[in-house]
Chains A and B, each alone.
Chain A
Amino acid sequence: MANNRRILLLISLALALLGFAAMAMQIDFASRKDEVNQIKKNNQYIYGEGVAETAEDSEKLAEIRFAEALAEYIQSVPELDSADVVIIPPVKKEMKKITFDRTAKRKVTFLYILKSEIAPLMKNAPKGDGELCKASIEPCEQLVDSGNVAMAYTIAEPIQEEIVVIEPETIDDDNLQTESRVESEDNYQLDGLSAKEVEIIKAIIEAGSFGNIREYLVERKASRHDIIFRGSNSFGSVSDKGLWIIFDNYKNIIAVLGKDTATPLYTKAGIDDSDFSKNGKIWLKIN
């Protein structure tokens, strides 16, 4: 009889523990969710939220959505809209994060920042240090293809631009011919490549900018299934041999490198730097 009572007591205590654990989880969930809801209702904040099966995936989603909301906000504010770029790292440093578990094995990540913090961050952002992203495009860290890939555009030194003004009367046929000759100095070394490789490389060069090239690659992959590509920080980050599309700090293509990265298949006129290790790049494999 005493044993039965002990067993009954143990079962009751186990049930009670389970119940209180569930209740504690529910209270924790409710309090964090309430915090998130207060921020979502307050239009002074920019936020991004992600729900996924893993914490990593929920954070990726939240980052993408945060970046979209940030870009939308910048475009809506006249004094910020004129700014072509936003320096993401300072924003990332200042943004706050709430994470919690839902029932049914779901993880939630919520990223947010006060709108009033954005303008000072942009003004004080150190030039020449950090990732440079078009505010109107996408977050620096994004899914270019199937992997989680960082497209980093590092500015090693402040950009020096030389503006040459040519008076109208100096533009004559000779000048035009000179200009034409300069354009034709783009260097192509496409011998030995297959017709398909040449076709794709030429289409990429013609596309010109990162956005156009990415669009072309996405379409090609979806329609022809004959390429694999992804953004990369360094040549060593991809084990398989492939081509490399190299961009300048303005996200314009400046070179295409072959499987041996020392051999350029294409370099834009005026580009003779063979060390592209610090440039933004996309790895491309043609099947």
Chain B
Amino acid sequence: MKKIIFPILFLCGCAFSAIASMNTIFTITDADGIGVSTRMESTMAALLSEFNAACAENRAPRLSKMNIDKRTQTSILSLWENSPFCCEESEIVQRLLHVGDEYELREIPLIFPQLPEDDQYHEVAVTFDNDGNMTSFHISLEQYQVQDILNVSRSVKDTRQRMIILDYVEQFRTSYNTKDLNFLNQVFSDDALIVTGRVIKARPSSVRLRETNSMSTDRIQYTRQSKTEYLNNLSGVFKRNKWLNVKFDEVSVLAHPTKENWYGVTLKQNWATSNGYSDVGWVFLLWDFTNPNEPVIHVRTWQPNQFNGRELSEDEVFGFDDINIVD
């Protein structure tokens, strides 16, 4: 009997461990004349293979010798602490994109084995500087969401702008999962207007939220916070929770009708923490991309997805109409 059972179990074990310890090759296409593409390929291959090794050995990935800047290393390790991930592919082939002044690789598939099955598959996007060093690593929106955002673009310039916005929205989302207060501090303008259903965050003094009926505390108890208050509160949430899982869905991007380079981003946010708290709400972000390398958020509002037992209708969700911008 043992002669039959042990070989069978051995073969099964071999099959599973082969998947877990797989090395990944990375090939970049559409990179003619870009000398650093080989460096990027090496970094990606080393990084994905290291994820698999770390998964198999139940340890954190070792990133210190890779061409990845410190902030991004910290971000990857924070994400890992939230939930480890691995790459189940022996080779990945992706096009190199130009986004702003950087290079970007998107749709890199990762599996998060500790999450529920229908939430295990996520794609990440990474950016590189002109020297081929990785400068960000963030979870991407789903492919259909990306397509929806880019489909609305009116010109090549608008498409490029939307790619940059998409990139920042993804980084913004990932920063909650990685507890990256530095990024949030950088991206919110100092006088940002922050409102939540409990919170709205206020930023620049040039922006004032018009008090409308939909904003009144009679309907939903809104709270205004300064950037400092918001980040302090958030810091507390980060400390109290081992992990946060923030997801964005139904993302739409709209150019401001008069302010060039200002965009409104509306999205449905799913928020869940290790302490068991979770909520779903609509978030409106007013982004200023006047400096595309350092965009800032002037307004962030949050509203519950449901109120009084019903879902908020589209016209109840905050947008440009509720914001009065004073030049």
A residues neighboring B (CB under 8 Å): 5, 8-9, 12-13, 15-16, 18-20, 22-23, 26, 29-30, 33-34, 36-37, 40-41, 43, 50-53, 57, 60-61, 64-65, 102-106, 138, 142-143, 215, 218-219, 222-223, 225
Contacts and interface: CB of A to CB of B under 8 A. Distances in A.
B4 interface: yes
Given A26-B19, A215-B154, A103 B143 contact: no
15 contacts: A15-B9, A18-B12, A19-B11, A19-B12, A19-B15, A33-B90, A37-B91, A41-B93, A51-B107, A51-B109, A51-B143, A103-B88, A103-B120, A219-B254, A222-B252
Contacts of A60: 144
Contacts of B90: 30, 33-34
A225 B27 CA distance: 44
Interface residues of B, number: 42
B319 interface: yes
B16 A223 contact: no
Interface of B: 1, 4-5, 8-9, 11-12, 15-16, 19, 27, 29, 88-93, 107, 109, 111, 117-118, 120-121, 123, 142-144, 147-148, 151-152, 154, 252, 254, 257, 314-315, 319-321
Contacts of A41: 27, 29, 93
B41 to A, nearest CB: 12
A247 B118 CA distance: 43
A21 B19 CA distance: 14
Given A5-B1, A13-B8, A105 B118 contact: yes
Given A51-B143, A104-B118, A143-B151, A12 B5 contact: yes
A134 B178 CA distance: 44
Contacts of B29: 40-41, 43
Nearest to B257: A223
Contacts of B4: 9, 12
Contacts of B19: 26
The 7 closest A-B pairs by CB, nearest first: A19-B12, A104-B121, A104-B120, A40-B93, A23-B15, A16-B8, A12-B5
B191 to A, nearest CB: 26
B165 to A, nearest CB: 14
A33 to B, nearest CB: 6
Contacts of B154: 215
Contact of A34 (B11, B91, B147, B319): B91
A9 B88 CA distance: 31
A202 to B, nearest CB: 19
A13 B7 CA distance: 11
A52 B90 CA distance: 21
B89 A16 contact: no
Given A8-B1, A222-B252, A33 B89 contact: yes
Contacts of B1: 5, 8-9
Contacts of B89: 33
Contacts of B107: 51
Given A9-B1, A26-B19, A51-B107, A16 B254 contact: no
Nearest to A33: B89
Given A51-B109, A143-B148, A223-B320, 7 more contacts: A16-B9, A26-B15, A53-B118, A103-B120, A104-B118, A106-B121, A225-B315
B110 to A, nearest CB: 10
Contacts of A22: 15-16
Nearest to B123: A51
Given A5-B1, A9-B1, A52-B144, A102 B121 contact: yes
A62 to B, nearest CB: 10
A16 B143 CA distance: 36
A103 B144 contact: no
B121 A103 contact: yes
A20 B15 contact: yes
A70 B252 CA distance: 26
